[in-house]
Chains A and B, each alone.
Chain A
Amino acid sequence: MKTLLLIFVFFTGPFLLLAQRVTGTVYERTEAGVKSPLVGVNVFWAETSLGTATDSLGKFDIPRSAKSNRLVISYIGFKTDTLKVSSESNFEIVMKAEGHLGEVVVRGSSSQIDRLNPIHTEIITTKALAKAACCNLSESFETNASVSVSYSDAVTGAKQIQFLGLGGQYVQTNVENVPTIRGLASTFGLNYIPGTWIQSIDVAKGAGSVVNGYESLTGAINVELVKPDAREKLYFNAYVNHLGRGEINFNLNQKLSDKWSTGFLTHASTLQNRVDNNGDGFMDLPLYTQFNGVNRWQYKSDKIMAQFGIKALTENRIGGQTSFNPSEHRATTKLYGFGNQTNRIELFSKTAKLYQDKPYKGLGLVLNASMHNTDSYFGFTNYYGRQRTLYGNLIYQSIINNTNHQFKTGISYLLDDYRETYKDSLMTRTESVPGAFFEYTYNHLDKLTLVAGLRADYHNLFGAFVTPRLHLRWQPLEHTTLRLSAGRGQRTPNAFAEYYGYLVSGRKVSFWGNRIQPEVSWNYGVSLTQTFHWFEKHWDLVIDYYRTDFRNQLIADTDYATQLASYLYFYNLQGKSYSNSFQIELNTLLSKRTEVKLAYRLFDVWQTMGQPFGHVTLQQRMMVPRDRVLFNIGYALPYDKWKLDLTVQWNGKARITNPLQSLEATLDGKHNMPTLFSQSFMNINAQASRAFKKFEVYLGGENLANFKQPNPIINAQDPFGKYFDAGQTWGPVVGRVIYAGIRIKVKD
């Protein structure tokens, strides 16, 4: 039986001014033929993450989007569908379920694919986020197959994303479409967005849209935060784990008048317990304290939508040998210590002018200013960094003749001012980049969508460059969607911030050859999304392949050591560097209440390395496991009375180095670098949560198999020596973690 989506459109009358909000009610038709409202249906504008969910009466109310006129209605067990919205402002939508026949389409699973988006995009909803503790953004991808997150070293607690076989620095990480985790913030930035602040996360694979800049080399992650006019007036969350980490989050949203609302998102967390489970004399996790907050004001009228606010963060970390105390031992040979103090402040604003009679038209201005200070020490080595950034983006969107031909155009300006000192050397860099962009979208009956974007930017240090991007989405059959993408990306690397973990070592840091140039890559991708029937169940199958080819790349080379020192070389790529990423993912509903995901991912990533010491070879990129398998099973009772989740990840071997092996190779006069591999390992996470009338509690475990990387710190017994290295981390440093928490939500 076919899923039906019946749409009744009520015109509010041609004389009325077009409302700037779209409202409606979503129903299902029950077996008795009675219309019954659907609660919690996701309603969002296609290609944006502006969304909402229906309330207890099935009603929704969503501001018009300047970016999209296609309203997507999606709900687990129902076929996701899309309305083209022009001047209408009130809808009655009847989604007819076919659940009683056991034919259910999986939506609302952890990686929901945005069906209409020409860019291959997975949407992580709050529902998927609730499958794990998700204390912060770095822990929000546990049930996602495309993004994996690992510790970058065994001391600092910094985390790195892996995406399409490459590091997080190649993914443009935006908060509400403003590039946020970049520059110096890329070291710890994933820890700076608490999970309870997150409304949804979009993960777009491949070259992104030109509208948000040129820095998305492999993809874009966009995080939408909880909005000031959200239904949850008050949200309190407390979390504690058995190692002693504690977190408190408190969100407050208040509508002040018809037009004004304000929201506070706050977070405090700490770990003050020294944990050394592997007995190497080093703390497995740094002690830390973080305070983090956002205050945002929002104004919505028929003509203007505006918001502005401030974000502030302070975080302190202390790591190193177990009894290290900075006031006593810092910069002495008594004990090795690591410390970091980060302070960050950000002012942001977004203004959109709306055209009441022309909903496809819009003018938006994004303005952002931030200051990021990071002050670190690794034993005797000090590193200080300061980044000041100004960002402005003016976007105009409209149509050519009809809504089949849409365009976005605008101008942008980015100012980055860096000042870094490492040991005694001072490095400063001011980047000033004005740019202009144009993006044309052709849409044919939602069967074929073509997006062609071009931007031109002028970089004060590296000159002018052009960024072309192309996306094609084709739906030849109802259940089959094909996507193609190609595009160029460019970014200026920050060696210390991006390879921070390598600094926790006795390595001698050396910039070799010419001045470090921007990283430039071309990314090509193809993906297939297919839904089908098998064993009387509905299945979602997603297969994708992406290739990233670097024209230039910052190479961080840790493969060389001599009797004098072990080295960390930074230099420009000379030769080939590429990444192939292949992924296959299958989702289904095993029963009404049980959903299952199985995914396999293959990374094949190579870099030309070894120039500084004359052993030029094509080597596998470090710390990238070739194979990964992810399995997730989730079970939920109505109203989430009980919710159970189990995730199993298997990570294959990755190439690693060891300064002692490098030294041996040098002494033997070998012309090949030693090639060492890590072990493969299994990571098992599980969580159970129980909802009560007014609150929800959860209990879970991470790394339940208790796998620990053996000797995550090389030469831990000689931390001030030449061959000490804590940056060769490929697996969990800390073993099993058991956590518990509570969520209290007050809706109006």
Chain B
Amino acid sequence: MKQLTFIFALILGVVFSTVANKPGKEKEVKIKTSAVCEMCKERIEKNLTLSKGINEAILNLDDKIVTVKYNPSKTNEAAIRKVITDTGYDADNLQCNQTAHDKLPECCQKGNESHAH
């Protein structure tokens, strides 16, 4: 039984300590991106969500602002913006990573707003 408790504690403990959003510790930041379409939205949200310290990312295509909830002891605003630029999009005043941007499908590249899906 001791071993069992240990394993449970290990698996659940590790996970919940990472996952549990202690509400007091969570911070929120709003970043303006150069997202164009729904594909961009999914790409940015997924890459942000799957990055260290980020609990939730929701991008609103109307104003292109992504709202990121994160744990300030694990990440910071600069790192969050870097995820966005590395995905190929502008983040506030930061320019996107050109290589990543050029790899995006044509419809998702900057200057395609008029063709938004």
Residues of A within 8 A of B (CB): 32, 34, 36-37, 39, 56-58, 635, 637-639, 641-642, 644, 646, 684, 686, 688, 691-693, 699-701, 704-706, 736, 738
Q: Is the CB of B15 within 8 A of A32?
A: no
Interface of B (DSSP majority class): helix
Partner of A639, one of B50, B60, B61, B117: B50
Q: What is the minimal beta-carbon distance from A10 to any residue of chain B, in angstroms?
A: 16
Flag the segment in B5-13, B28-36, B73-81, B89-97 that touches A: B5-13
Shortest A561–chain B CB gap in Å is 38
List, sorted by A's number, 26 A–B pairs whose CB atoms are closer than 8 Å: A32-B62, A36-B38, A37-B38, A56-B39, A56-B42, A56-B43, A57-B38, A58-B38, A637-B55, A638-B45, A638-B49, A638-B56, A642-B19, A686-B7, A686-B11, A688-B14, A688-B15, A691-B50, A693-B47, A693-B50, A704-B4, A704-B8, A706-B3, A706-B4, A736-B3, A736-B7
B50 neighbours in A (Cβ, 8 Å): 639, 641, 691-693
Q: How large is the interface on B (under 10, 10 to 19, 20 to 34, 35 or more residues)?
A: 20 to 34
Q: Which partner residue on chain B sits nearest A692 by CB separation?
A: B50
Q: How far is the CA of A699 from the CA of B60 in the complex (A)?
A: 34
Chain A residue at smallest Cβ distance from B61: A34
* Residue B46 lies at the interface, judged by CB distance under 8 Å to chain A: yes
Contacts of B62 in A (CB 8 A): 32, 34
CA of A736 to CA of B3 in the docked complex: distance in angstroms?
10
Looking at the assembled complex, report how far the CB atom of A370 sits from the nearest CB atom of chain B, in whole angstroms: 42
Contacts of A706 in B (CB 8 A): 3-4
Is B18 located at the chain interface by the 8 A CB criterion? yes
Which single residue of chain A is at the shortest CB-CB distance from B117? Answer: A57
CB of A635 to closest CB in B, whole Å: 8
A635–B117 CA distance with the chains assembled, in angstroms? 32
| A residues near B18, Cβ cutoff 8 Å | 642
Q: Are A642 and B49 in contact (CB under 8 A)?
A: no
- The residue that A701 contacts in the complex, of B11, B14, B37, B61, with Cβ under 8 A, is B11
Given the interface pairs A56-B42, A57-B38, A637-B19, the reply to whether A32 lies near B8 with Cβ below 8 Å is: no
Q: Which residues of B contact A39 (CB under 8 A)?
A: 42
Evaluate contact between B15 and A642: CB separation under 8 angstroms: yes
Q: Nearest Cβ distance between residue B85 and chain A, in whole angstroms? A: 15
A-B contact count (CB 8 A): 67
Given A637-B55, A639-B46, A688-B15, 7 more pairs with CB closer than 8 A: A32-B60, A37-B38, A56-B38, A56-B43, A635-B19, A644-B15, A686-B12
**CB within 8 Å for A641 and B4 given contacts A37-B38, A56-B42, A688-B11:** no
Roughly how many angstroms separate A641 CA and B18 CA in the complex, as a whole number? 11
Chain B contacts for A688, CB-based, 8 A = 11-12, 14-15
B49 to chain A, nearest CB (A): 5
Nearest chain B residue, comparing its CB with the CB of A37 = B38
Task: Please give, as numbers and ranges, the residues of chain A lying within 8 Å of B4 by CB-CB distance.
Answer: 684, 704-706
Which residues in A have their C-beta under 8 angstroms from that of B45?
A: 638-639
Q: Are A699 and B49 in contact (CB under 8 A)?
A: no
Beta-carbon nearest neighbor of A686 in chain B: B11
Please indicate which of the listed interface residues B7, B12, B43 has the most CB atoms of chain A within 10 Å of its own CB.
B7
A428 to B56, CA, bound (A): 64
Of chain A, the residue at the smallest CB distance from B40 is A56
Please, which residues of chain B bring their CB within 8 A of the CB of A704? 4, 7-8
> In the complex, what residues of A have CB within 8 A of residue B55's CB?
637
Residues of A near B49 (CB, < 8 A) are 637-639, 641
Q: Which residue of B lies closest to A27 (CB)?
A: B38
Cβ–Cβ < 8 Å partners of B117 in chain A? 57
Expressed in whole angstroms, the Cα–Cα distance for A180 and B117 within the complex equals 45
Task: Please measure, in the bound complex, the distance between the C-alpha atom of A642 and the C-alpha atom of B52, giving whole angstroms.
Answer: 12
Question: Taking CB as reference atom, which chain A residue is nearest B59?
Answer: A36
CB closest residue in chain B, given A635: B19
Residue in chain B with minimal CB distance to A689: B15
Chain A residues whose CB sits within 8 angstroms of the CB of B46 once the complex forms = 639, 693
| Residue ID in chain A nearest B57 by CB atoms | A638
Residue of A nearest to B56 (CB): A638
By beta carbon, the residue of chain B nearest A646 is B12
| Bound Cα distance from A57 to B49, whole angstroms | 18
A36 to B62, CA, bound (A): 11
- Residues of A near B38 (CB, < 8 A) are 36-37, 56-58
Q: Which A residues are CB-close (under 8 A) to B11?
A: 644, 686, 688, 699-701
Chain B nearest CB from A369 CB (Å) reads: 44
Which residues of the other chain, B, contact A642 by a CB distance below 8 angstroms?
Answer: 15, 18-19
Known: A639-B49, A693-B46. A686 touches B8 (CB 8 A): yes
Q: How far apart sit A263 and B91, CA to CA, in the bound complex (Å)? A: 40
Cα of A39 to Cα of B19 in the assembled complex, Å: 23
Complex alpha-carbon distance, A691 and B51, angstroms: 10
Smallest CB gap from B42: residue in A:
A56
Tell me the bound Cα distance from A37 to B61 in angstroms: 12
Q: State how many angstroms separate the Cβ of B51 from the closest Cβ of chain A.
A: 8
List, in ascending order, chain B residues with CB within 8 A of A637's CB.
Answer: 19, 49, 55
Contacts of A56 in B (CB 8 A): 38-39, 42-43
10 tightest A-B contacts by CB?
A56-B42, A639-B49, A37-B38, A688-B15, A642-B19, A639-B46, A693-B50, A57-B38, A638-B49, A56-B39
- A-chain residues with CB within 8 Å of residue B3 when the two chains form the complex: 706, 736
- Select from chain A the residue with minimum beta-carbon distance to B58: A638
Give bound CA distance, A56 to B37, whole Å: 11
Which residues of A are found within 8 Å of B43, using beta-carbon distances? 56
List A contacts of B39 (CB < 8 A): 56-57
Chain A proximity of B110: nearest CB distance (Å) = 19
A736 to B7, CA, bound (A): 10
| Nearest chain B CB to A277 CB, angstrom units | 13
Alpha-carbon separation in the docked complex, A32 to B19 (Å): 29
A48 CA to B45 CA, complexed, in Å: 34
Contacts of A684 in B (CB 8 A): 4
Q: How far is the CB of B40 from chain A (nearest CB, A)?
A: 10
A684 to chain B, nearest CB (A): 8
Closest-CB distance, B117 to chain A (whole angstroms): 6
Q: For the complex, what is the distance from the CA of A641 to the CA of B49, rounded to whole Å? A: 7
Q: Please, how many angstroms separate the alpha-carbon atoms of A641 and B41 in the complex?
A: 17
A638 smallest CB distance to B (angstroms): 5
CA distance A736 to B62 in the complex (A): 52
- A58 CB to closest chain B CB (Å) equals 7
Residues on B with C-beta less than 8 A from A700 are 11
Q: Provide the bound-state CA to CA distance between A688 and B55, in Å.
A: 17
Residues of A within 8 A of B14 (CB): 688
Which residue of chain A has the shortest Cβ distance to B19 in the bound complex? A642
- Separation in Å of the A331 CB from the closest CB of chain B? 41
Residues on A with beta carbons closer than 8 Å to the beta carbon of B61:
34, 36
Query: Closest approach, in angstroms, between the C-beta of B37 and any C-beta of chain A?
Result: 8
Give A594 Cβ to nearest chain B Cβ, in Å: 12
Q: Are B7 and A701 in contact, CB atoms less than 8 angstroms apart?
A: yes
- Rounded to whole Å, the gap between the CB of A288 and the closest CB of chain B is 26
- Distance of A56 Cα from B56 Cα, bound (Å): 18
User: Nearest Cβ in chain A — how far from B61, in angstroms?
Assistant: 7
- CA A36 to CA B61, docked complex, whole Å: 9
